[in-house]
């Protein structure tokens, strides 16, 4: 019997029962791989901008980009809960806009929940989305859409005061009805305290081992992003080097005439070839 696709209430109910494995995905093949690997939640993150679109940060990612990529991932994801990240300015400008854009993800892309970055100031937006029937995942700590204000990709919650603010924001998001909460780049002690105090699952990324689940970016896990990676990323494979070597081998074989070889070549039926070689003309009429 096919396995039932996980829902936002299933993820909420996992709190205290089992640890949640969350992966990002951005299109059909990455969605298929993440789903086959057994992720509980697949997030089409706005990290899309950096790992797929070649942007320096997430600020240039648009609703059109996110809808296009979420639709592709949705065609692949059959078991995990599919969550779409709401991009910069798709919800910050007002509650009505937030509900309308969140609704587009549900109606047009096949996502079954959305994620928003930010604290208590977005509780009214989250309540309105929930009233419309849209489950919401929160995101606190390093919130990349705020990087211009934060002065870059910097760890958050390092002072007692900042940690207390994170705790209050986490409580506000849980009270507003979020079904789970991403904690990014915060000290492990802060994530542990939030995890113990809120009734929704926390999903850590650079937030230590005590969260209810973990999330990593697809390309980081597989070594598909050349260049620097954050210290909290564990690279489970380096696919960049073998991929580049395979592509270079192809280019060399094309130039040297080794590709295509006989195995990749389709030949004509010998009788047809004889006739073709004799040069018989066929009238079309
Ligand atoms: O955009 C993203 O991929 C994210 C995850 C890192 C949580 O927000």
Q: What percent of the chain has pLDDT over 70?
A: 98
24 lines ligand 1 (CB under 6 A): yes
* Ligand 1 neighbour 214 (Cβ under 6 A): no
Residues classed as catalytic: 184
- Per-residue pLDDT tens for 94-116? 999 999 999 999 999 999 999 99
pLDDT at 285 over 60: no
Torsion angle in degrees (nearest 10) through CA of 171, 43, 36, 53 = -160
Work out the mean pLDDT of the chain and round it to a whole number: 96
pLDDT recorded at residue 2:
66
Q: What is the pLDDT of residues 5-44, one digit of tens each?
A: 999 999 999 999 999 999 999 999 999 999 999 999 999 9
Distance 51 CA to ligand 1 centre (A): 11
Encoding tokens for residue 87? Answer: 């991009």
Q: Any residues with CB less than 8 A from the CB of 133 and at least 6 apart, and which?
A: 106
Q: Which domains does the chain have, with CATH numbers?
A: 8-238 (3.20.20.60), 242-282 (no CATH)
Here the tokens at position 10 are 């299933």
Q: Do the Cβ atoms of 203 and 215 come closer than 8 Å? A: yes
pLDDT of 227: 75
Tens of pLDDT, residues 211-255: 999 999 999 999 998 776 788 999 999 999 999 999 999 999 999
- Model's pTM, two decimal places? 0.95
Of 47-51, 87-91, 126-130, 151-155, least confident by mean pLDDT is: 151-155
Which residue has the CA at smallest separation from atom 4 of ligand 1?
45
pLDDT of 269 higher than 60: yes
Question: Among the atoms of ligand 1, which is closest to the Cα of residue 144?
Answer: 8
In angstroms, what CA-CA distances link 102 with 42, 275, 285?
A: 17, 63, 59
Q: Is the pLDDT of residue 146 over 90?
A: yes
Separation of CA 23 and ligand 1 centre (Å)? 9
Which residue in the block uniquely carries the two structure tokens 């979420």? 70
Contact 182 CB / ligand 1 (< 6 Å): yes
Decide: 220 in ligand 1 pocket, CB within 6 A: no
């Amino acid at each position: 019997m096919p396995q039932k696709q996980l829902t936002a209430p299933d993820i909420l109910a996992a709190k205290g029962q089992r640890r949640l494995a969350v992966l990002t995905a951005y299109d059909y093949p990455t969605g298929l791989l993440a789903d086959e690997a057994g992720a509980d939640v697949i997030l089409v993150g706005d990290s899309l901008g950096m790992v797929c679109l070649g942007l320096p940060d997430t600020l240039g990612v648009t609703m059109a980009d996110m809808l296009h990529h979420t639709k592709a991932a949705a065609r692949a994801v059959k078991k995990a809960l599919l969550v779409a990240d709401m991009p910069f300015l798709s919800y910050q400008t007002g509650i009505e806009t937030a509900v309308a854009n969140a609704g587009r993800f549900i109606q047009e892309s096949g996502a079954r929940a959305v994620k928003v970055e930010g604290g208590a100031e977005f509780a009214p937006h989250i309540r309105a989305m929930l009233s419309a029937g849209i489950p919401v995942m929160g995101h606190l700590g390093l919130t990349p859409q705020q990087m211009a204000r934060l002065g870059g990709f910097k760890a958050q919650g390092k002072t007692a005061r900042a940690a207390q603010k994170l705790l209050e924001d986490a409580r506000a998001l849980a009270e507003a009805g979020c079904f789970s909460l991403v904690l990014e780049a915060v000290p492990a002690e802060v994530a542990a305290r939030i995890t113990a105090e809120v009734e929704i699952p926390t999903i850590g990324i650079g937030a230590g081992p005590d969260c209810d689940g973990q999330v990593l970016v697809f390309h980081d896990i597989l070594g598909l992003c050349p260049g620097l990676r954050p210290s909290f990323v564990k690279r489970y494979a380096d696919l960049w080097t073998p991929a580049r070597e395979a592509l270079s081998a192809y280019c060399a074989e094309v130039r040297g005439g080794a590709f295509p070889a006989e195995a990749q070549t389709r030949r004509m039926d010998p009788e047809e070839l004889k006739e073709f070689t004799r040069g018989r003309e066929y009238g079309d009429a």
